[in-house]
Structure 1
Amino acid sequence: MLVAFSISPAATSPDGSVSEAVAAAVRVVKESGLPWELTSMFTTVEGEWDEVMAVVKRAVDVVAEVSPRVGLVLKADIRPGFEGQLTAKVDRVQALLED
């Protein structure tokens, strides 16, 4: 299962930046040991349903510690029996672009 999620805290610094809160959430993902990828809009993590959802919940909880309001956008690709799709999906498209 792949889950792409974005956590949007209320502003946590006077200049409106949310970078520190987002970094805390990404740190949770990094420390989970699951395969993951960070992009400018989403963090994608790969694993089994329960372990991925537990990571997302922990990431939200960490942000909620410093923000009075947290938004969460989540998109999941549920495909039982497939692993390594974090990179495999991109590799398949890249191969077609090289033809």
Structure 2
Amino acid sequence: MIVAISISPASTEETGGVAAAVAEAVQVIRDSGLPCETNSMFTNIEGEWDEVMAVVKQAVFKVAETSPRVGLVLKADLRAGHDTGEMQAKVRRLEEHL
């Protein structure tokens, strides 16, 4: 499965920025060892349901250590027979049509 998550803490910076708190969540995800990639809006994580959801929970709770309120947006793609390498494979299939 692939999940795309966006963790939104209550602002921790005077400017309204959340980069430092989001970086802590991304670090948890990267330290998990699961395939992942971060873009300007989401972090994608690939793996089995239980391991991915455990990492999502750890990332959210990491941000909750410094933020009184945390929002989570999660989108999941579950496709039988496509267990690994789908983050890149989906993009390759799209590019073939462009």
Instruction: Give TM-score, length-normalised by structure 1.
Output: 0.95
Paired position in structure 2 for 1:96: 97
Give SS of 2:76's match.
Answer: strand
Per-residue displacement from partner, 1:31-90 (whole Å, max 9, x unpaired)?
010111111111000000000000000000000001000000000001132121011000
Give SS of 1:14's match.
Answer: coil
Instruction: Please tell me whether residue 85 in structure 1 is matched to residue 86 in structure 2.
Output: yes
Per-residue displacement from partner, 1:9-45 (whole Å, max 9, x unpaired)?
0001111110000000000110010111111111000
Q: How does 1:1-99 map to 2 (within 5 A)?
A: 1-82=1-82, 83-97=84-98
Query: Which segments of structure 1 move beyond 4 Å, counting only runs of 4 or more?
Result: none
CA RMSD of aligned residues (A): 0.7
User: Could you list the runs of 5+ residues in structure 1 that have no partner in the other structure?
Assistant: none
Give SS of 1:51's match.
Answer: helix
User: Could you list the runs of 5+ residues in structure 2 that have no partner in the other structure?
Assistant: none
> Quick one: distance in 2 between partners of 1:38 and 1:10?
20
> Quick one: distance in 1 between partners of 2:22 and 2:28?
10
Give SS of 1:52's match.
Answer: helix
